[in-house]
Chains A and B, each alone.
Chain A
Amino acid sequence: MAGPVQSIERAAAILRLLAAGPRRLGLGEVAASLGLAKGTAHGILRTLQHVDFVEQDATTGKYQLGAALLHLGTSYLDVNELRSRSINWADALAARSGEAVRLGTPLEGMVLVVHHVFRPDDTLQTLDVGALLPLHASSLGKVLLAYGTAPFDSALESGLDAYTRHTLVTREQLTRALAEVREQGWAVENQEMSMGEAGLAVPIRGHGGLVVGAIGLSGPVERICDSQGRPRPSLITLIREAARAISRDLGAARW
């Protein structure tokens, strides 16, 4: 078995040091306090800064604990922040696809619609922000379940109600569907919430690739899906591009 990793031990010591003091510390102070070479301390601080565990004051160059540490364990992303970061890409997605766009995050066993862009056809539409959708019967919800953003049990607790004859109402059906979502990277909902309507959604990732929400398109089934009930490849491409742009903006470098 491998021994402890020295650089991680040192990083932990730096975090403890920054957490202990009431004020920001300079590089020299950090290095001296821990008996590290300045170059070593700097490398670790830079890495911690990169993952937002540490922040550097722009004017003094001194370090303090980063906001990301405070939210550790809650996978915290402010939903209003998510909307703000997504708004340009959600607009572009709606404009290109010609369909309505929604963003969802989990809330108490449901999907909370945190952003909604109208279908760009100038018809009268009602703003859906704040509405709740069922996890098991929406494409947004399936993405949140598939990637563990919403716990699977929370969907079961809310009950797998049948909205149409296509709704997935058993644990087995849903489990199988979620495995497919993980395999494909997208979720489809084909007339599972209301007849004639379909939806397509993909994950939005934050730091380190953690799924923080889902972005989806919805509209009449014949526009979202082909005659075999598969979502149209052109839409999958568009929605993936949008999700990638948002994820990049949220700090998920690899997506």
Chain B
Amino acid sequence: MVERYVMSIDQGTNSTRCILFDRGGRLVSVAQREHQQHFPRPGWVEHDAVEIWHNLRRVVSEVLTGSGTAVDGEQVAAIGLANQRETTVLWDRRTGTPLGRALVWQDTRTGPLVEELRQRPGEEFFLDRCGLPPSTYFSALRIRWLFDHVKGLEQRAKDGEVLFGTMESWLVWNLTGGVDGGLHITDATNASRTMLMNIHTLTWDEELLAFFGVPRPMLPEIRSSAETYGEARALLPGVPITAALGDQQAALFGQTCFSPGEAKCTYGTGSFLLLNTGTDVVRSRHGLLTTVAYKIGDRPPVYALEGSIAVTGALVQWFRDRLGLISSAPEIETLARTVEDNGGCYIVPAFSGLFAPRWRSDARGVIVGLTSYITSGHLARAVLEATGWQTREVVDAMNADSSVALKELKVDGGMTADNLLMQFIADVLDVPVVRPMVSETVSLGAGYAAGLAAGYWTDLEVLRRNWHPASRWLPRMDPGHRESEYDNWRRAVERSLGWIRSPGAS
């Protein structure tokens, strides 16, 4: 009998990746392509949705030929997608052409609108309905911004000529035929990040739609995260597409955090700590988001509390691409190890303002503690430590919201290859940090969900048994040192706040 595999597509912020997994949840083949980041103005971040679709075509064909033994399309049991969340694409229903570039989740152009919404109707209005506070982070504000800045767009949307989607909607629509009957769908996890979905009913919320002026016909149908949506017509004709999840929810699923109280943190461009809260919709009092973790078929949805950190790996990329102090991301560790400590230097990477737990759109990045003594090595330390301290702030918020304190942190993502960073996180959290045997958990989670829906795996317990620790870092920092460093970090954060003045202030 020929071996069959599950294909997972991870459409991330920097790249599009395609991975084949076998029944043991083990990686068989991988292909990846980066796409261009467009920064047309300070704070603006855009992607070309057509480039991303082309990249997907390439990685799918590469992954089938790249695994030593070529894999036939018929050996693919199912396709699952995970995607960068909140990134907003609008396209023409009839031609399939995107109406401008996609506005990326890190983009802060909607900042002034956030301030308005905070004043009126106020946070409660939104928290009650979608579980999210107003922030530049979410899709609805981007749709509004586009309507207000692209002539005729709002009318065309009202006339039903325009489709909205996050990346999974765009890709599923193209995979299933595009202009020729493509499916226009999203899943509950992605929809929960738009600010347009009611977090309790998992349907588009009429009041929110009315508030943002978003016409219903442009929105995709909200489906569960794991069910047969349809068959691919492009790339792998006839293969069922059976899962879609936002990348962070996919990582939670890939880490097999299926029980309430289980949590993971994924270290990528940004970092995202998600805690499974079961079927309860828990409202945070400490700056965390309420979000849908996953919904399998017609089973009740499972919710999560999320601590979103906008800039972690992106700071390393900035260090590499914009400052040119290293030539590859992993070299940050080599450079950081040239010195013993941070030399008194701290970097607060509030490039897109600060996300959880502070939610301050008016913050911008700062480097503090500069003296003649500081070398590029100290800066490299400060870059890595920024990820550690931001994790600490989110974990503190989570512990304050939850009855049980976190005892161990499950981690994944590209930055887990950085041993210095992982040790630092264990040190500042004062709990062990564990990486599982598959660090590509975003892809694995989408693969798991797709395989479950397609009957490739029978139940969640089978998936749980595939989870094994691959590395574990134990805390060993002196408590006094930890406290004084944390205090320095918080003082550095204070200095990043309020840098962007609200309109009207001189």
Contacts and interface: CB of A to CB of B under 8 A. Distances in A.
Given A92-B26, A96-B26, A120-B468, A80 B437 contact: no
Nearest to B438: A91
B134 to A, nearest CB: 36
A117 B471 contact: yes
A255 to B, nearest CB: 12
Q: Which one of B30, B440, B470, B473 has the highest number of Cβ atoms from chain A below 10 Å of its Cβ? A: B470
B472 A87 contact: no
B469 A84 contact: no
11 contacts: A78-B334, A84-B329, A84-B418, A91-B439, A92-B26, A92-B28, A94-B437, A95-B468, A117-B471, A121-B468, A129-B471
B24 interface: yes
Contacts of A117: 437, 470-471
A78 B27 CA distance: 25
B24 A95 contact: yes
B376 interface: no
A127 B417 contact: no
Contacts of A127: 471-473
B502 interface: no
A94 B331 CA distance: 25
Nearest to A95: B26
Interface in A214-244: 241, 244
Q: Which one of A120, A122, A129 has the highest number of Cβ atoms from chain B below 10 Å of its Cβ? A: A120
Q: Which one of B329, B416, B468, B473 has the highest number of Cβ atoms from chain A below 10 Å of its Cβ? A: B468
B306 interface: no
Interface string A80-123: 11011001110110111000000000000000000011101110
Interface of A: 58, 67, 78-81, 83-84, 87-89, 91-92, 94-96, 116-118, 120-122, 125-127, 129-130, 241, 244-245
Given A78-B328, A78-B331, A118-B468, A95 B437 contact: yes
B455 interface: no
A122 B468 contact: yes
Given A91-B437, A127-B472, A84 B417 contact: yes
A86 to B, nearest CB: 9
A116 B470 CA distance: 8
Given A92-B27, A118-B469, A81 B438 contact: no
A87 B473 contact: no
Interface residues of B, number: 31
Contacts of A92: 26-28
- 6 interchain residue pairs of minimum CB distance: A120-B468, A80-B330, A84-B330, A84-B417, A80-B333, A81-B330
A88 B472 contact: no
A118 B330 CA distance: 21
Contacts of A95: 24-26, 437-438, 468
A19 B300 CA distance: 64
A127 B433 CA distance: 12
B439 A88 contact: yes
Contacts of B332: 80
B97 interface: no
A245 B68 CA distance: 9
B415 to A, nearest CB: 9
Contacts of B472: 118, 125-127
Contacts of A87: 416-417, 439
A177 to B, nearest CB: 29
B330 A78 contact: yes
Nearest to B443: A88
Given A78-B334, A91-B438, A118 B27 contact: no
B279 interface: no
Given A78-B331, A80-B333, A88 B440 contact: yes
Interface in B239-255: none
Contacts of B419: 80, 83, 129-130
B327 interface: yes
B289 to A, nearest CB: 29
B414 interface: yes
A188 to B, nearest CB: 24
A91 B327 contact: no
A241 B27 contact: no
Nearest to A128: B471
Interface in B439-493: 439-440, 468-473
Contact of A118 (B26, B328, B440, B470): B470
A79 B437 contact: no
B327 A67 contact: yes
B369 to A, nearest CB: 25
Given A95-B24, A95-B26, A84 B437 contact: no
Given A91-B438, A116-B471, 9 more contacts: A78-B328, A78-B334, A83-B419, A84-B417, A84-B418, A95-B26, A96-B26, A127-B471, A127-B473
B414 A122 contact: no
Contact of B334 (A67, A79, A118): A79
Contacts of A80: 330-334, 417-419
A241 to B, nearest CB: 7
A120 B417 contact: no
Interface string B426-441: 0000000000011110
